[in-house]
Structure 1
Amino acid sequence: MTGEPEKKEDHNSSARSMHLIGGRRVTVSDLIDAGLLQAGERLRFARNRIGVAYDATVTAEGRIRLASDGEEFRSPSRAAMVAAGMRAVDGWRAWQVVEQDRLLDGLRQDFLDQALTGTANTTQQQADDENRKRVHERLRRARERADRRDPERITVRELLSFWRATGRGDQVSQIEADLANHGLVTSPNFRAVTLDTMVSLTIPPDDSEPADTDTSPEIDPMPIPEDDEDGGDLNVRLMVGTLSPLVGVASVGPDSTFEEAITKMMLNDFSQLAVLSGPHNLRGAVTWRSIAQAMHERPDRRFTDAIDPHVEVVAYDRDLFEVLPVLQRRDFVFVRDQSRAVMGIVTTADVVHRYGEMATPYFQLGEMDQTLRWILRRAFDVDTVQTLCKKVVTSFDKLTIGDYQRVLENKAAWQRLGWRIDRAAFIARLEEIRHLRNKIMHFHSDPVPQDTVDKLQRFNELLHRYRGSA
């Protein structure tokens, strides 16, 4: 024994640093550890609209035990859904701590606020804390507006900037966790729309219908912040909304004229127009083909004869791959937003453009890879490359970008190529591309920035220019 007091982990919330939350969802166990909630405290979920209440208690393990049957849940939302037989409910805003006369959500906000006063141990942790505090303050203001029923409306691009992100890549899980911790959702879902689509930072509705009751045909259920056992659902799909900004769709009314429809299509270079008698009432579409067919059959045909009622309408968060067969048959689909209003259109041309955006950087990387291997194969044998890479190399096809760097960083190897370009600048760009490759290969729904594609293309052009002299 040295006589020094034994150091114990301090669970007091005032000593907790924001970086310890780590971009994850706050749990009931966190509230217990921070002294904000006690094991054995009673919870009540009151549905005042129908005069029913459900009781539960908090266990020492941070679970919610239902009074009705003793079933336990780590997720407050899951516990509330099972207790009430509801399709979706935000359990943090449903369960009230009886002894404290406060919602679990209020205690969660206290936990986040107290974490702001915590002390980080390293410079990096301090920097992480400052970033998290900035995001916390920003989301807290958004929550205040949402509570006043005046939700903030911003583009997805602006939302991502809170976390200094430019795309929905590796930070999506942290973004979703931070939103959930503040009881916020985006409407529409920020994952399922374009970067320039406007979303509302709002809270889910106070109540929902029972699980066996259909929702209104005009309103989709509001998403609930995830706090499930596994920390949220995996969602890496490419959705219809990522091709349509949901800002409205060009249309004519059912009592329009051929001249109006044709003029709008010519002025905007459209191949089709929606026929609407209100944002939720799609009557069909007119296309160049339907107009030509109507007018060819009989010159005195009315405009209504050119309306094709057999059009496809899909939700903005529908999986794009499920819609591709429809696009092959119809060339376009109309898109409904979160309120089921017809607010967008996706065409085969949109899909071709997006897949071109997605495929181009992969092809550019593949071209670079093949070209560099071809160059090294012509200039060196496998034994030389193995020596320079300082690892076992059985084939040029096994080389990585890091291996290319190790070979070309060698002054003698570089001179053997006979290239009259600066070696340091070339290696620096290759290192940059190595990092870009890692980001590109981690698939997400946003297109690779054009400047990244341009860098890859220019690098390939340089390789093609000098490969003959290798």
Structure 2
Amino acid sequence: MDSETGGRESETGGRTMYLIGGRRVTVLDLLQAGLLQAGAKLRFHRSRIGVAYDATVTEKGRIRLEPEGEEFRSPSRAAMVAAGMRAVDGWRAWLVVDQERFLDAVRQDLLDRTISKVAAATHQRNEDIKRQRVYERLKQARRRAEAHDPERISVRELLKLWEAADRGDQVSQIEADLANHGLLTSPSFRAVTLDTVVSLTTPSDEAERSATTGDTEIGDIRVVENDEGDDDLNVRLTVGNLSPLAGVESVGPNSPLEEATTKMLLNDYSQLAVLSGPRGLRGAVTWRSVAQAMQQKSVASVADAIDPQAEVVPYDRDLFQVLPILQQREFVFVQDETKAVKGIVTTADVAHRYGEMATPFFQLGELDQTLRWVVSRTADMETVQTICSRPIESFDQLTMGHCKRVLENKEVWERLGWPVDRSAFISRLEEIRLIRNQVMHFHPDPVPEDTVDKLRMFTSLLHRYRGLA
């Protein structure tokens, strides 16, 4: 049985068809496909400093550095260790010497071969067609990125390519598909809002961006450090998840104070950024600083009202790290991936987000308890155990799924005696069960706008008729 596919084989490509949309391609996959041979020589040449590093592909699909003998599963990790660099895209760094092309090109051959098998099949499953569609779209995005014309797309639209509405269970699959095509999003699609527009770009494009924006990263190629997801646990709530990075209202340091106060009044803002350029944050103007400036001068300017202690943080900073600053300062400005000041997060934003997360959480808690109570008044434990096929010892152990299974049983439902359509009730309960899974798994995205209303109305229905149970 193949451990990667759970023993699933298909006439449309067998094991390799699951490389698209399932996980990141590895060097071992290239060996097993016959696109790379054990013993193949690899070379990483850093033209800027005139230094080259050599390695060999082992039979287990690892990269053995020469002459040290250290072995790595990840091409990027191997390149990083060989060159003593902090971040390298190993797929674009290692040249397969006898083929005179990079590992990335061999990886693309594997993807092309895999999708060709799927396309040639006479009977394609929906999942195969979906993966083929994603493959073609990402291949097109790769061509645009290499032409230095990267596709720009909102995170929401990006997720729709995988038929996902939020960054839930499919995040790892999406990252794997992007990585297999040598793509990443700039800024990271994990660390921004759903409506933030990101670029589908390549690591080399990011290196050029870093060079033009004064990034302190040193190296030939810049990329996320882990190219195979070995340590890819990323469940953070970031500052960028609260700010769309769409720009901030600002004034220049030499602007009249009336311009600042007018903009604050028109937009109901408590503060404005003072910018001397996209990356030149001079501070902030707040109502407090305005009052202090006017107290000292009868005719004050923005320069007199600047609070120079305004904080600016990168969009991918953990929100929890910023909470102490927000508690003290009440706001922080946010930098995008180019270090331009493009957003702001306030204590009100944080309170709103936690309210979005907490409200359905508590509603679901009430629903869970109410459903268990209804079941306990309608069916005995033996009936529940039989329906659920589980050794449940008490009603407190019932999950929402258990309750759904019990209540959709025709005999149990008739005992309720509710003037409610069973099919419609169970259908809504299934929707709520899926909502519960999303909320309880603490996905970074807000629940849909109608979720709170659905939970409230379902709870109201339960309270209306539970006395009949």
Fold match by TM threshold 0.5: yes
**Partner residue, 1:219:** 215
**Partner residue, 1:158:** 157
Distance (whole Å) between structure 2 residues aligned to residue 165 and residue 158 of structure 1: 9
* Equivalent residues in 2 for 1:301-380, closer than 5 Å: 301-377=300-376
Distance (whole Å) between structure 1 residues aligned to residue 78 and residue 213 of structure 2: 27
Evaluate the alpha carbon distance shift between residue 291 and residue 371 of structure 1 in structure 2; reply closer, same or farther with a 3 A threshold.
same
1:416 Cα deviation after fit: 4.2
Distance (whole Å) between structure 2 residues aligned to residue 392 and residue 105 of structure 1: 52
* Equivalent residues in 2 for 1:133-144, closer than 5 Å: 133-144=132-143
Deviates more, 1:121-130 or 1:289-298: 121-130
**Partner residue, 2:232:** 233
**Partner residue, 1:6:** none
Evaluate the alpha carbon distance shift between residue 391 and residue 121 of structure 1 in structure 2; reply closer, same or farther with a 3 A threshold.
farther
C-alpha distance after superposition, 1:282-336 (max 9, x if no partner): 0100111111122234434443221100111111000001111111111100001
Distance (whole Å) between structure 1 residues aligned to residue 449 and residue 443 of structure 2: 16
**Partner residue, 1:255:** 254
Evaluate the alpha carbon distance shift between residue 408 and residue 75 of structure 1 in structure 2; reply closer, same or farther with a 3 A threshold.
closer
Whether the 8 Å contact between 1:44 and 1:95 is mirrored in structure 2 is yes
Distance (whole Å) between structure 2 residues aligned to residue 105 and residue 387 of structure 1: 54
Structure 1 gap segments, 5+ residues each: 1-8
Whether the 8 Å contact between 2:271 and 2:286 is mirrored in structure 1 is yes
Evaluate the alpha carbon distance shift between residue 390 and residue 29 of structure 1 in structure 2; reply closer, same or farther with a 3 A threshold.
closer
Evaluate the alpha carbon distance shift between residue 263 and residue 322 of structure 1 in structure 2; reply closer, same or farther with a 3 A threshold.
same
C-alpha distance after superposition, 1:182-239 (max 9, x if no partner): 1111111111011111111111128979xxxx988833755337324x5342100000
**Partner residue, 2:427:** 428
AA partner of residue 218 (structure 1): G
1:87 Cα deviation after fit: 1.4
Whether the 8 Å contact between 1:17 and 1:120 is mirrored in structure 2 is no
Distance (whole Å) between structure 1 residues aligned to residue 125 and residue 196 of structure 2: 34
Evaluate the alpha carbon distance shift between residue 123 and residue 436 of structure 1 in structure 2; reply closer, same or farther with a 3 A threshold.
farther
Whether the 8 Å contact between 1:26 and 1:108 is mirrored in structure 2 is yes
AA partner of residue 44 (structure 1): R
Whether the 8 Å contact between 1:219 and 1:338 is mirrored in structure 2 is no
**Partner residue, 1:147:** 146
1:124 Cα deviation after fit: 9.7
Distance (whole Å) between structure 1 residues aligned to residue 411 and residue 143 of structure 2: 64
Distance (whole Å) between structure 1 residues aligned to residue 173 and residue 192 of structure 2: 18
Within the alignment, does 1:192 sit opposite 2:191 as a pair?
yes
CA root-mean-square deviation: 2.9
**Partner residue, 2:3:** none
Evaluate the alpha carbon distance shift between residue 128 and residue 370 of structure 1 in structure 2; reply closer, same or farther with a 3 A threshold.
same
Distance (whole Å) between structure 2 residues aligned to residue 436 and residue 194 of structure 1: 20
Distance (whole Å) between structure 2 residues aligned to residue 384 and residue 128 of structure 1: 38
Evaluate the alpha carbon distance shift between residue 105 and residue 391 of structure 1 in structure 2; reply closer, same or farther with a 3 A threshold.
closer
TM-score (norm 1): 0.89
**Partner residue, 2:448:** 449
TM-score (norm 2): 0.89
Evaluate the alpha carbon distance shift between residue 234 and residue 123 of structure 1 in structure 2; reply closer, same or farther with a 3 A threshold.
farther
Whether the 8 Å contact between 2:55 and 2:64 is mirrored in structure 1 is yes
Distance (whole Å) between structure 2 residues aligned to residue 390 and residue 187 of structure 1: 48
Distance (whole Å) between structure 2 residues aligned to residue 172 and residue 188 of structure 1: 15
Evaluate the alpha carbon distance shift between residue 376 and residue 33 of structure 1 in structure 2; reply closer, same or farther with a 3 A threshold.
closer
AA partner of residue 163 (structure 1): W
1:426 Cα deviation after fit: 1.6
Whether the 8 Å contact between 1:47 and 1:207 is mirrored in structure 2 is no
Whether the 8 Å contact between 2:86 and 2:225 is mirrored in structure 1 is no
AA partner of residue 214 (structure 2): E
Evaluate the alpha carbon distance shift between residue 425 and residue 14 of structure 1 in structure 2; reply closer, same or farther with a 3 A threshold.
closer
**Partner residue, 2:43:** 44
Structure 2 gap segments, 5+ residues each: 1-7
Distance (whole Å) between structure 2 residues aligned to residue 405 and residue 122 of structure 1: 40
Evaluate the alpha carbon distance shift between residue 295 and residue 110 of structure 1 in structure 2; reply closer, same or farther with a 3 A threshold.
same
AA partner of residue 226 (structure 2): E
AA partner of residue 227 (structure 1): D
Distance (whole Å) between structure 2 residues aligned to residue 339 and residue 70 of structure 1: 38
Evaluate the alpha carbon distance shift between residue 407 and residue 128 of structure 1 in structure 2; reply closer, same or farther with a 3 A threshold.
closer
Distance (whole Å) between structure 2 residues aligned to residue 141 and residue 351 of structure 1: 38
Evaluate the alpha carbon distance shift between residue 205 and residue 368 of structure 1 in structure 2; reply closer, same or farther with a 3 A threshold.
same
Within the alignment, does 1:461 sit opposite 2:460 as a pair?
yes
Deviates more, 1:437-446 or 1:322-331: 437-446
Distance (whole Å) between structure 2 residues aligned to residue 105 and residue 121 of structure 1: 24
Distance (whole Å) between structure 2 residues aligned to residue 51 and residue 386 of structure 1: 71
Distance (whole Å) between structure 1 residues aligned to residue 354 and residue 260 of structure 2: 30
Deviates more, 1:290-299 or 1:440-449: 290-299
Whether the 8 Å contact between 2:154 and 2:197 is mirrored in structure 1 is yes
Corresponding pairs, count: 456
State the percentage of identical aligned residues: 67
Whether the 8 Å contact between 2:89 and 2:227 is mirrored in structure 1 is no
**Partner residue, 1:27:** 26
Whether the 8 Å contact between 2:119 and 2:132 is mirrored in structure 1 is no
AA partner of residue 234 (structure 2): N
**Partner residue, 1:5:** none
Whether the 8 Å contact between 1:89 and 1:208 is mirrored in structure 2 is no
Evaluate the alpha carbon distance shift between residue 81 and residue 406 of structure 1 in structure 2; reply closer, same or farther with a 3 A threshold.
closer
Whether the 8 Å contact between 2:257 and 2:300 is mirrored in structure 1 is no
C-alpha distance after superposition, 1:361-411 (max 9, x if no partner): 211211111222334455666667567666555433222223323443455
**SS in structure 2 of the partner of residue 118 of structure 1:** helix
